[in-house]
């Protein structure tokens, strides 16, 4: 469903993440001008498109923490030829997964019942709200992932190298210096 | 803390402040109190000089030790595959139902070495065999009556040797020390030549030539050498050392003494797995007898200056301690984490002195070889695998038990003897070994074809091999020592993947992951546990891919993610 023929279509999303990986995408600075020559953005926080269309590349930031994350992720997998998970949270749960050391009940109570300064303690349960998962999962627990870029966040250079390789139909590869996990 | 507690702890420590005895003290404290009281950690920190955190880490490492009081009875059901096919899970549930309100902890543990007379369990460290509903009910009644385990009827603990086939070694009368006398008359160099000529290879599984190991150790100059007998028989499905230590302990210790005479050691250690604690008293009796006969002690058999004695150290439920460098760490009172090699134990072993670590069966064979001669031994077996060895046969066969076979026997012949016709597979050498499918039963027992540390589990045609894999996956996840990441994380990931297939929720992604994790573990694990743990799964995938492909979930391209299950807690909390 490429709107502009010949242009690679990219979608991105941030699940349970801090948008730091998206900031790192923006850190490619002026190269973004080169990028938009080659690609068109589908659903991303940059375009504010809500429904994903058929895409070549889907970029996932963040871990899977609630039912909406699962749904979005499965939609991305269905509509993107290649799925790239970026950042520590997507790869192994990262900061959001630190709650896995506690039960969900303990977490919710700490936030909504026993926390300081609460006026009317109540665990939110509106059907409009996504359901929170028992545990936070990395992306590959839910869908097949084609490529992962580690880092918190991955550097702009790494994202740029990976994207250009994929756009040009090359297998992405990185020097040892480029791969970082912190 | 009562004065009685303090006194009991002091009695156990008994002014022995040697840090090497830390683990032994902890085991006795656990045995006495059924847990390790905090005050004991403080006392041991003072006497051994270790920090309290170090001692806590040792307690946490060994699964038979616990920092929390869990009840007057600590019951651990053996969870080998052979226990599972005899319904250990149902028996556990039955016991749990019967003793609900009693002061008891009921859990699972790895194979306790009673596979020929299972299912087995350990109660406060002592082994019970032949479990069935009736025996479980009897145990439940004793618990409800608050009978101390020392008062439980002996028939519960009546473990049999169960020797089904004897060959040249088991047919021997008791050696009576003749092998040792021969060794002393020959002198160290000639004795070593006899062992060398016999071609004896280590019986633990790896099959390193015994004489070569001894001569490496002997060559290594040091003020002290040590002989260590590895009786940490932890490979699932192995129980031959149990009968050797029960009935043939004199020959085992004789073999150790012969080794000592060759390498110049004055101290030997037997590392007895915690599961075999029930053998401890008899073993100590045997040693006492040997001392009274001057076969242990000073100037042995009148040989001036040949002093040697043996001490028993107990293990505490850690499979990894069967690996020789972990075993040495454990002997030194530490966590059983493997050492980097080289240096090998023959260079720097126990207390960093040259040490020979051999299997129980190896020492036992040495005693017979010295007595009967190298030719007597190597007339049996094949050229590369001389002699006979003991097989522990269990699983789906009519006559499980101990079988002594010359090397070179085919699996078909062995199956015929034990009544295992119609088996779909043999698991050779335990969880880390090889799964041999029926089409390959013409293969033979030998180091050059199918090596084993003694384990031979028959898998009947009615069994699901995925259940076997599930059992192994849980075993390795539990037994990984946690020191290196590939093994610690890899065993957990493999368990998760295997469980998904077992629930018919596999995917292509899982298969790719399994192979990738296996490769990483094989290439980068610190010791043999991690590098062999994936073998059974990869063997199964290569030999019977349908085992996996027929258990895929609805979307084979993606992992199965059960949203219903994953939101269960939230729904419960907010309903």
Give B194-207 pLDDT, tens digit per residue: 999 999 999 998 89
State how far residue B478 is from chain A, nearest Cα, in angstroms: 19
The pLDDT tens digits of the residues spanning B237-284 come to: 999 999 999 999 999 999 999 999 999 999 999 999 999 999 999 999
State how far residue B70 is from chain A, nearest Cα, in angstroms: 23
Q: Are residues B96 and B147 in the same domain?
A: yes
Among residues B461, B459, B462, which one has the least CA distance to residue B396?
B459
pLDDT averaged over every residue in chain A: 93
Say yes or no for a CB contact (<8 Å) between B571 and A133. Answer: no
Q: Are residues B57 and B140 in the same domain?
A: no
Residues of A in contact with B561 (CB under 8 A): 70, 137, 141-143
List beta partners, residue B121. B77, B128
Q: Are residues B310 and B178 in the same domain?
A: yes
pLDDT above 70 as % of chain B? 100
Residue A177's pLDDT is 84
Residue A181's pLDDT is 80
Residues of A in contact with B574 (CB under 8 A): 123-125
- Among chain A, residues having any CB pair with chain B shorter than 8 Å are 67, 70, 74, 77, 103-105, 108, 123-125, 131-135, 137, 140-144
Residue B570 lies in a domain: no
Q: Which of B507, B565, B573 sits opposite A108 (nearest CB)?
A: B573
Say yes or no for a CB contact (<8 Å) between A104 and B508. Answer: no
List beta partners, residue B455. B392
Q: Are residues B198 and B311 in the same domain?
A: yes
Q: Which of B507, B509, B570 sits opposite A104 (nearest CB)?
A: B570
Average pLDDT over residues B171-187: 94
The pLDDT tens digits of the residues spanning A52-73 come to: 999 999 999 999 999 999 999 9
Residues of B in contact with A143 (CB under 8 A): 558-559, 561
Say yes or no for a CB contact (<8 Å) between A77 and B558. Answer: yes
pLDDT above 70 as % of chain A? 98
Comparing alpha-carbon positions, the chain B residue that sits nearest to A105 is B573
Residue B445 lies in a domain: yes
State how far residue B336 is from chain A, nearest Cα, in angstroms: 27
Residue B497 lies in a domain: yes
- Could you tell me which CATH number the domain at A8-96+136-167 has? 3.40.50.700
H or E, element range at B425: strand B423-428
Dump strand ranges (E) for B263-371.
267-272, 309-314, 355-359
Q: Is B558 on the interface with A (CB under 8 A)?
A: yes
Residues of B in contact with A147 (CB under 8 A): none
Assess contact for B458 and B424: CB atoms under 8 A. Answer: no
State how far residue A68 is from chain B, nearest Cα, in angstroms: 11
Average pLDDT over residues B492-516: 95
The pLDDT tens digits of the residues spanning A146-170 come to: 999 999 999 999 999 999 999 999 9
Residue B479's pLDDT is 96
pLDDT averaged over every residue in chain B: 96
Assess contact for A143 and A77: CB atoms under 8 A. Answer: yes
Assess contact for B273 and B231: CB atoms under 8 A. Answer: yes
Say yes or no for a CB contact (<8 Å) between A132 and B570. Answer: yes
Residue B54 lies in a domain: yes
B519 has a pLDDT exceeding 60 = yes
Q: Are residues B433 and B360 in the same domain?
A: no
Q: What strands lie across the sheet with B455-460, from one edge to the other?
A: B163-165, B401-406, B388-395, B455-460, B423-428, B434-437
* Tokens (6 digits) for B349: 């072993």
pLDDT above 90 as % of chain A? 82
* Tokens (6 digits) for B443: 């293969």
Measured CA to CA, the distance from residue A162 to residue A172 in angstroms comes to: 5
Q: Which of B561, B571, B574 sits opposite A141 (nearest CB)?
A: B561
Average pLDDT over residues B299-316: 97
A1 has a pLDDT exceeding 60 = no
Q: Are residues B325 and B204 in the same domain?
A: yes
Measured CA to CA, the distance from residue B435 to residue B543 in angstroms comes to: 9
DSSP string, B141-193: HHHHTT--GGGS-GGGG-----EEE--TTTTSPP-TTHHHHHHHHH-HHHHHH
Q: Are residues B175 and B260 in the same domain?
A: yes
The pLDDT tens digits of the residues spanning B383-422 come to: 999 999 999 999 999 999 999 999 999 999 999 999 999 9
Residues of B in contact with A60 (CB under 8 A): none
Q: Are residues B435 and B482 in the same domain?
A: no
Domain end call among B405, B437, B458 = B458
Residue B1's pLDDT is 61
Q: Are residues B352 and B433 in the same domain?
A: no
CATH number, domain of B439, equals 3.10.20.600
H or E, element range at B250: helix B249-263
B305 has a pLDDT exceeding 60 = yes
* pLDDT band of A3, cuts 50, 70, 90: low
Residue B209 lies in a domain: yes
How many domains does chain B contain in total? 5
The pLDDT tens digits of the residues spanning A102-149 come to: 999 999 999 999 988 888 899 999 999 999 999 999 999 999 999 999
Q: Are residues B367 and B407 in the same domain?
A: no
The pLDDT tens digits of the residues spanning B74-103 come to: 999 999 999 999 999 999 999 999 999 889
Interface-testing mutation among B508, B558, B562, with chain A (most A C-beta atoms within 10 A): B558
Residue A2's pLDDT is 45
Residue A166's pLDDT is 94
The whole domain housing B25 covers: 3-61
Q: Which of A74, A123, A133 sits opposite B567 (nearest CB)?
A: A133
Measured CA to CA, the distance from residue A41 to residue A57 in angstroms comes to: 10
Q: Is B93 on the interface with A (CB under 8 A)?
A: no
Residue B146 lies in a domain: yes
Residues of B in contact with A103 (CB under 8 A): 569
* Tokens (6 digits) for A32: 């973004």
Say yes or no for a CB contact (<8 Å) between A70 and B563. Answer: yes
- For chain A, helix, strand, coil in percent to 5 are 35, 20, 45
Comparing alpha-carbon positions, the chain B residue that sits nearest to A78 is B558
Q: What is the DSSP letter of B449?
A: S
Q: Are residues B299 and B367 in the same domain?
A: yes
Say yes or no for a CB contact (<8 Å) between A131 and B567. Answer: yes
The pLDDT tens digits of the residues spanning B419-465 come to: 999 999 999 999 999 999 999 999 999 999 998 889 999 999 999 99
Listed in sequence order, the residues at least 6 apart from B302 whose beta carbon sits closer than 8 Å to its beta carbon are: B294
Q: Are residues B220 and B89 in the same domain?
A: no
Predicted TM-score (pTM) of the model is 0.91
Residue B370's pLDDT is 97
């Amino acid at each position: 469903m490429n709107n502009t023929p010949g242009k690679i279509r990219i979608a991105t999303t941030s699940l349970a993440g801090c948008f730091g990986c998206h900031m790192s995408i923006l850190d490619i600075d002026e190269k973004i001008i080169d990028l938009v020559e080659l690609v068109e953005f589908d659903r991303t926080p940059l375009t504010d498109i809500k429904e994903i269309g058929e895409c070549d590349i889907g970029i996932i930031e963040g871990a899977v923490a609630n039912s909406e994350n699962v749904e979005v992720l499965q939609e991305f997998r269905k509509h993107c030829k290649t799925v790239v998970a970026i950042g520590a949270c997507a790869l192994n749960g990262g900061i959001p997964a630190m709650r896995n050391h506690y039960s969900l009940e303990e977490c919710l109570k700490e936030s909504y019942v026993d926390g300081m300064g609460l006026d009317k303690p109540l665990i939110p349960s509106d059907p409009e709200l996504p359901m929170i998962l028992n545990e936070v999962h990395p992306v590959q627990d839910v869908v097949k992932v084609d490529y992962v870029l580690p880092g918190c966040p991955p550097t702009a250079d790494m994202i740029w190298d990976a994207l250009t390789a994929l756009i040009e139909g090359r297998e992405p590869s990185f020097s040892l210096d480029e791969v970082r996990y912190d | 803390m009562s004065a009685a507690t303090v006194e009991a702890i002091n009695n156990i420590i008994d002014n022995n402040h040697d840090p090497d005895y830390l683990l032994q003290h902890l085991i006795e404290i656990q045995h006495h109190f059924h847990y390790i009281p905090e005050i004991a950690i403080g006392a041991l920190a003072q006497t051994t000089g270790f920090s309290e955190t170090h001692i806590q880490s040792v307690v946490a490492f060994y699964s038979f030790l616990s920092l929390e009081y869990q009840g007057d009875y600590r019951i651990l059901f053996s969870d080998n595959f052979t226990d599972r096919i005899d319904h250990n899970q149902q028996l556990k549930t039955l016991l749990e139902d019967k003793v609900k309100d009693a002061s008891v902890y009921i859990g699972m543990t790895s194979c306790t070495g009673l596979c020929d007379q299972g299912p087995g369990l350990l109660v406060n460290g002592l082994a019970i065999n032949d479990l069935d509903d009736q025996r479980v009910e009897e145990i439940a009644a004793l618990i409800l009556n608050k009978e101390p385990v020392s008062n439980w009827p002996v028939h519960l603990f009546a473990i049999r040797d169960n020797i089904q086939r004897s060959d040249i070694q088991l047919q021997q009368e008791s050696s009576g020390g003749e092998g040792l006398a021969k060794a002393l008359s020959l002198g160290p160099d000639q004795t070593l030549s006899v062992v060398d000529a016999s071609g004896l290879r280590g019986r633990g599984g790896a099959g390193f030539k015994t004489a070569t190991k001894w001569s490496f150790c002997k060559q290594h100059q040091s003020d002290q050498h040590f002989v260590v007998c590895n009786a940490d028989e932890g490979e699932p499905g192995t129980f031959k050392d149990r009968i050797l230590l029960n009935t043939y302990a004199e020959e085992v210790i004789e073999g150790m003494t012969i080794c000592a005479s060759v390498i110049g050691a004055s101290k030997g250690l037997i590392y007895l797995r915690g599961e075999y604690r029930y053998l401890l008293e008899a073993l100590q009796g045997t040693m006492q007898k040997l001392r009274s006969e001057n076969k242990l002690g000073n100037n042995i058999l009148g040989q001036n200056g040949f002093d040697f004695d043996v001490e028993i150290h107990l293990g505490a439920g850690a499979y990894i301690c069967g690996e020789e460098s972990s075993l040495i760490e454990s002997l030194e009172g530490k966590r059983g984490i493997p050492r980097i090699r080289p240096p090998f134990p023959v260079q720097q072993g126990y207390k960093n002195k040259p040490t020979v670590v051999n299997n129980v069966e190896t020492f036992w064979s040495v005693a017979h070889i010295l007595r009967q001669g190298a030719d007597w031994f190597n007339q049996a077996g094949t050229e590369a695998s001389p002699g006979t060895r003991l097989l522990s046969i269990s699983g789906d066969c009519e006559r499980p038990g101990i079988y002594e076979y010359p090397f070179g026997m085919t699996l078909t012949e062995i199956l015929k003897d034990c009544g295992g016709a119609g088996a779909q597979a043999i698991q050779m050498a335990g969880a880390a070994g090889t799964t041999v499918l029926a089409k390959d039963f013409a293969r033979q027992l030998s180091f050059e074809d199918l090596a084993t540390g003694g384990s031979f589990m028959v898998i009947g045609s009615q069994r699901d091999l995925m259940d076997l894999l599930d059992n192994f996956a849980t075993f390795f996840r539990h037994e990984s020592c946690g020191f290196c990441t590939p093994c610690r994380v890899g065993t957990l990931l493999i368990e998760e993947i295997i469980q998904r297939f077992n629930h018919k929720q596999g995917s292509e992604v899982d298969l790719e992951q399994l192979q990738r994790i296996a490769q990483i573990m094989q290439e980068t694990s610190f010791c043999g546990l991690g590098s062999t743990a994936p073998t059974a799964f990869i063997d199964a995938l290569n030999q019977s891919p349908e085992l996996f492909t027929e258990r895929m979930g609805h979307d084979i391209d993606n992992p199965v993610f059960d949203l219903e299950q994953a939101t269960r807690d939230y729904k419960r909390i907010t309903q």
